[in-house]
Structure 1
Amino acid sequence: MPFALRRLFATLLVFCEPNNPRSLWEKFYDALSEDHRQNLQLTAEQVQNITLDHIASFIESMGKKIPGYNLTACNKASIIRNKPTKEIEAELQIPISEEDIHMKVLLNNAQRAAFDLIMHHIKQHLGGGFFIDGPGGTGKTFLYRALLAAIRSEGSIAIATASTGIAAANLPGGRTAHSHFKIPLDINSSTGCNVGKQNAVATLIRKTKLISWDEVPMAKKQNIEAFEAMLRDVFSNKTIFTGKVAVFGGEFRQVPPISPRSTREECINNSLVESTLWPHLHILRLTENMRALHDPQFSSFLLDVGNGTYNNIDEDLITIPECMTINTKEGSNPILTLVEHIYPDFTENAFKSNYLTSRAILTPKNEFVDEINKVLMNQFPRSSYTYTSFDKATNDKQENYP
């Protein structure tokens, strides 16, 4: 198909470096433009321009520019490609919800102070790096979404990234930092991001006003340093962050050992705090737990555990508060006791949606999930049915189902 041929043609130009690209263009032009020539409403010049435009798009995605190949005498493609790249178009098309736009007026005092400072740096073109430090529940994601909506609602570009796919999914248009900035999976101090100065990612970064990176304590310091080095390379500038505003965020209290032989401190020593960027970041702290706003005792408990100051029995153990435990009688089934505590009067309330959706039991292992589900299903006041799935059709002589 012509579309596939245009992509092949672009690949040949970029990676095979033919001696005479124009002769290839002239020889195979009819095949490359066949689908557009069938549109009788287009003139011959318009067909050529559209074909060149599509090839230019493929070439840009490979890090090159079409004018360097001189496919036509007047090289109209240099004019055509003034329109935004597909990366820029994709960022500009990210939907902005009314809820996100309204978040700005719902910020608490600490979030508002951080929001205003970051927006001041953006509007005054001051650049700089920020680190949002806050325990889980203090509204870091809420703040990111407010910032992203504020920038995007003005028609500008804001890039949302995170160290993990789960965290990225919480942000509109979010992607992992490895995906967005082409960070190699196996990185060291001598390698960097696979972003060339002239490719589409570099063009996108130049037009970006804000870059956010959530869960950054989970990333190796080499990843973060490679990202910042990429910024300096793209802008040909030795200044840190080169006038761009980068907002990092996360909580070092949540950094766990990655193997039995490594300690939490060893993990932290390989992260952002030990990078060359840490002294240049503005540290903005969020302390008010918005998820447990009406339970200050629980918020305080979480902070103390994270800081390592709560009633430690030894290095690895703490005493759980009585209000968070369920006492079981000697000889009783602890799973059944837990179920009865979380789902009291289950039989009478089994068909009430509010009752079922307002409570849950979380477990560290799937085997416990199965055991708890079995206990609850045995208590359900109706008969159970098993629906079996099949992965092939039986007696399908007509082969209706491949």
Structure 2
Amino acid sequence: MLLHHVRGPTSFQYLKTVDGVLKETYQAACRARGLLENDDHWENTLREASLSQCPLQLRELFVVILLFCQPSEPLKLWNIFKDDLCEDIRHRIRQQNQDITLPYNEDIYNEGLIQIENKLLQLNDKSLSDFGLPSSVRTESNAAETMTHRYDTNNLTAFVNENLPKLVPDQRHAFETIVDSVIHDKRKVFFLDAPGGTGKTFLANLILAKIRQSGKIAIAVASSGIAATLLKDGKTAHSTFKLPLSVNLEQQSTCSIRKNGPIGKLLQDASLIMWDECTMSHRAHIEAVNRTLQDLRNSSAVMGGITFVFAGDFRQTLPLLTEAREQISSRHA
């Protein structure tokens, strides 16, 4: 951009010089020349939102601005609004420490950055460094703490107590068997097979609530977005596991998850993974998840030695391939 607007540049330093002042970055030079829009609009948006929105909603708005609005100075926006973005975190820590005079500090800001980065990773696989924001300092248990502290155990207990009597005998047996595998660390793999409309999703949500009620991490995914919305805090399998776009049974594909990254640590700490509508997924995707979990959890056991529940209905989803013989179709199931 500068090369298009600066006449006769003689050096890179010359490009960054505006009115005799050498700017630190090319972006700063562009801004000084009026070639870039400033962030006044996004600053006003956040300021207005901070008057009526809770900090969680404000953090979500901040993430949307980062991902889709391309602010020129994300760090400046963070520095202006970091107190508003972290207000609920300070309030919680004040209550925990029984200190109503606790000021904002780096630990509070760090937790706010972690929550912002978690949202960035969830929506677009981006990190804070992609936007020039300070890196968050994560401990090994950060991801686990985020998952275990986000649920109200009283609400979960009420949900379980209200709905457990509604289970029919077969559902009750499945519920008790799966919960027993998690609680006693039996690390079994299950498949819930039932026709559509018979209560698989209802049972899945009840199992998730029971495990989360005990303080353990239960991850819910589904092969389609619609199915994911029916699970409590469910996400698509592609977004959670970072599944490869192209699948090949001959290649030993794995998922794009870093072992020391937040998602990798979350999968290491999880006690249960529930995959609904798995019958819609390609066999190679499930095998890729198996290899990835074995690597992340340092275990050669199936699915890395975690209690894993598949659910689906092959009656609804047949393994069809264009112009394929029956043997080929069954090979991809």
Q: Normalization by structure 2: what TM-score?
A: 0.57
Contact 2:217 2:271 in 1 (8 A): yes
Q: Determine if the alignment matches structure 1 residue 246 to structure 2 residue 333.
A: no
* Aligned partner of residue 111 in structure 1, secondary structure: helix
Aligned pair 1:227/2:286, yes or no? no
Matching residue of 2:170: 110
Larger RCO (alpha carbons 8 Å, 6+ apart): 1
Deviation at 1:146, TM superposition (A): 2.1
Q: Which amino acid aligns with 1:227?
A: V
Match of 2:185 among 117, 122, 125: 125
Aligned to 1:215: 277
1:166 aligns with 2:226: yes
Relative to 1, partners in 2 of residues 1:270 and 1:56: Cα closer, same or farther, differing over 3 Å?
A: same
CA shift, 1:77, in A, is 4.7
Q: CA RMSD in A?
A: 4.5
Q: CA deviation at 1:141?
A: 2.0
2 CA distance for matches of 1:265 and 1:127? 33
Query: C-alpha distance in 1, partners of 2:222/2:180?
Result: 23
Displacement, 1:184? 2.1
Residues 203 and 92 of structure 1, relative CA distance in 2, 3 Å threshold: farther
Question: Rg bigger for which structure?
Answer: 1
Corresponding position of 1:187: 247
Using a 3 Å threshold, how does the CA distance of structure 1 residues 163 and 53 change in structure 2: closer, same or farther? Answer: closer
Native 8 Å contact 2:143 2:266 kept in 1: no
- Compared with structure 1, are the counterparts of its residues 196 and 134 closer, same or farther at alpha carbon in structure 2 (3 Å cutoff)? same
1:213 is displaced (CA, Å) by 0.9
Is contact 2:111-2:136 (8 Å) kept? no
Instruction: Indicate whether 1:237 and 2:299 are aligned.
Output: yes
DSSP 3-state at the match of 2:253: coil
Name the one with the larger helix percent. 2
Assess, with a 3 A threshold, how the Cα gap between structure 1 residues 31 and 235 changes in structure 2: closer, same or farther: same
Take 1:56 and 1:161, find their aligned partners in 2: how far apart are those partners? 22
SS at match of 1:190: coil
Q: Which moved more, 1:128-137 or 1:218-227?
A: 128-137
User: What does 1:27-42 align with in structure 2 at a 5 Å threshold?
Assistant: 33-35=79-81
Select between 226-235 and 93-102 the one with higher mean Cα deviation: 93-102
Q: How big is each residue's C-alpha offset from its partner over 1:292-340, in whole Å with a ceiling of 9 and x where there is no partner?
A: xxxxxxxxxxxxxxxxxxxxxxxxxxxxxxxxxxxxxxxxxxxxxxxxx
Query: Is residue 159–residue 209 contact of structure 2 (8 Å, CA) maintained in 1?
Result: no
Q: Which runs of 5+ in 2 are unaligned?
A: 1-38, 47-58, 64-74, 91-99
User: How far apart, in 2, do the equivalents of 1:96 and 1:265 lie?
Assistant: 46
Q: Specify every segment of 5 or more residues in structure 1 that has no aligned partner in the other structure, as ranges.
A: 8-28, 272-402
Partner residue, 1:333: none
* Aligned ranges 1:166-315 → 2 under 5 Å: 166-188=226-248, 189-256=251-318, 258=320, 261-262=323-324, 266-271=328-333
1:204 shift after superposition:
1.9
Question: Contact 2:217–2:269 (CA<8 Å) still a contact in 1?
Answer: yes
Measured at CA, do residues 36 and 103 of structure 1 come closer, stay the same or move farther in structure 2, by a change above 3 Å?
Answer: closer
Native 8 Å contact 1:125 1:243 kept in 2: no
**1:122 Cα deviation (Å)?**
0.9
- State the Cα distance separating 1:117 from its structure 2 match: 1.5
TM-score (norm 1): 0.49
The residue identity in structure 1 corresponding to 2:268 is R
Q: Report if the CA contact (8 A) 1:151-1:157 is conserved.
A: yes
Deviation at 1:135, TM superposition (A): 2.3
Q: Shift in Å at residue 92 of structure 1?
A: 3.6
User: 1:138 maps to what in 2?
Assistant: 198
Task: Provide the rounded CA distance (Å) in 1 between the counterparts of 2:316 and 2:187.
Answer: 29
Counterpart-to-counterpart distance in 2, 1:84 and 1:57: 10
Cα deviation, 1:140-184, whole Å, max 9, x if unaligned, reads 223212211211233332211111122222222222111111112
Q: Is the 8 A contact 2:296 2:304 kept in 1?
A: no
State, as a whole percentage, how many aligned pairs show the same letter: 28
CA deviation digits over 1:228-262, x for unaligned, max 9?
Answer: 11111111222223331000021222223645524
| Structure 2 letter corresponding to 1:116 | E
Q: Which amino acid aligns with 1:244?
A: I
Give 1:84 deviation, angstroms: 4.8
Q: How many residues get paired?
A: 243
Q: Which moved more, 1:129-138 or 1:254-263?
A: 254-263
